[in-house]
Amino acid sequence: MRGEMSRRRALQLAALGAAGTVAGGVGTWRELQGSAPANQETASGPALGEPTVLDSRNGSLEVELRAASGVVLAGRRTSALGYNGTSPGPTLRVRPGDVLRVNLTNDLTQVTNLHTHGLHVSPQGNGDNIFRSVQPGQRAQYEYAIPKDHPVGTFWYHPHHHGHVADQIFGGLFGALIVTGPDEPRVTRERVLIISDTTLTADGSVANAGMQALMAGREGDLVLVNGARLPRLATRGGTVERWRVVNACTSRFLDLRLDGHTWGFLGYDGQALRGPQEQQSVVLAPGNRADLLVRLQGAGTSTLRTAAYDRGSMGTMPGGVPTSPAVELARVEIASGPAGPAAWPVAGGKPRDLRAAPVAARRTIAFTMGMGGMGGMGGMGGSGGMSFGFDGRSFDAARVDQRLRLGTVEEWTITNPSPLDHPFHLHVWPMQMIEGQGIDPAGAPDWRDVVIVPARGRVRVRVPVADFGGRTVYHCHILDHEDRGMMAVVDAAT
């Protein structure tokens, strides 16, 4: 990270973003209520609530998900979006070898669909097929056969209909998806913490994003944990908890810290959990998840926060300097308890390592962002003269950009000549980091499905193109960029 901004500069940018977000001088709910900006909170909110858990039984889980408006956020009734009347929606909990069936009802006023982010499952038919469209008033079934050797960890689900993704996630449509199995670390308690952001107008509607926010990637002025602002987490000293943290923000990067504590970091994105590594902070791009152990000692109050994260600069382009400001996220209230264990509990399993694997193909993929049009841009690639895409082309669902061969390992170099950090997300197949900022070439295998590609930098990853063929996508997980064309189609076949 290029360093933290000054508090004054962060407040200036937050004010600028809020002014550009809501048209017509209506004002946001926070502004009209006279409440402080998110990074100036002092009083804690309600006790942390967690989404309803729907657990698989006898090898299967069948759930009904209804996407509609009208949920409680930050303690008030709003017309924001949710699944089954809540945001986040229910937590879906499955096991390797299970079949997950989701019956999705669309009670929105616009088209939607469903993506199981991070699951290694088929992208075809009624699987993790982001090319499907579920029209308003329609009901559609999705079915995911989860492989018996699927990694355990934290995943999530959300809409993925091109052109509506950012609006619907910013509106509140998302939920956690957990794959659990043997050899999990033994902990006192497990929590799901879904961090999201949005902006609400005074009447409880989700604010429309202005052009400036769309270009940089919008960040809301309400930062929520499980739909609450600055909730309280009550616990006892001498305990070890597991926190499954999801960054469900459309564009905000999180640099997570817990005052007075170190993390026992198990891994990113539910892809390869390993023995805990002690870390002071964990950076999550939009879409990233982290499995964390927290060893709580003594008594007192600690604050879960995100430090400011510098996402880069757009120079003279619309959008200015899109920095994710520092925000207090939750209060952790620790009651006195006995002395806890000196050592971290250990997760089982050994991550696969592709560093010595034969490479069948090497590709270079470049983010494209700038002024002017692109070939194949259509109506979604440019806004206000700006273009978004890969390799000089904006997204076209009818075009195949990369053809992969099943049963092989590929090495991709992902370059980012733009002045902004971009998170790169590949569907279906996880990626092992080979080269990138903070990557130890001789360290433990580092697997992710969202990879931060720094401004004017590059990363190298290896991709096992295994098990499932068909068409799917990779894209920027700053979702306003994805909706405007920063996405490409891959097709895997034998």
User: What's the CA gap between 443 and 463, in Å, rounded?
Assistant: 18
Domains 53-179 and 361-493 alike in fold: yes
pLDDT at 224 over 50: yes
Which overall architecture, per CATH, does domain 361-493 show? Answer: Sandwich (2.60)
Closest CA to 115 of 352, 480, 427: 427
Lookup result for tokens 């090898």: 59
Please determine, looking at this structure, whether the domain spanning 53-179 carries the CATH number 3.30.70.1070: no
| The CATH homologous superfamily of the domain defined by 7-44+186-335 | Cupredoxins -  blue copper proteins (2.60.40.420)
Lookup result for tokens 């002024």: 371
Lookup result for tokens 């956690």: 176
pLDDT the model gives residue 441 = 84
pLDDT tens digits, 132-179: 999 999 999 999 999 999 999 999 999 999 999 999 999 999 999 999
pLDDT tens digits, 239-252: 999 999 999 999 99
pLDDT the model gives residue 431 = 97
On the 0-12 / 13-18 / 19+ scale of CB atoms within 10 A, 105 is middle
Edge-to-edge strand order for the sheet containing 53-55? 53-55, 91-94, 175-179, 153-158, 115-117
Contact yes or no for 78/30 (Cβ under 8 A) = no
Cis peptide before 88 (omega within 30 of 0): yes
User: What's the CA gap between 172 and 73, in Å, rounded?
Assistant: 9
pTM of the model: 0.90
How do the domains of the chain map onto residue ranges? 7-44+186-335, 53-179, 361-493
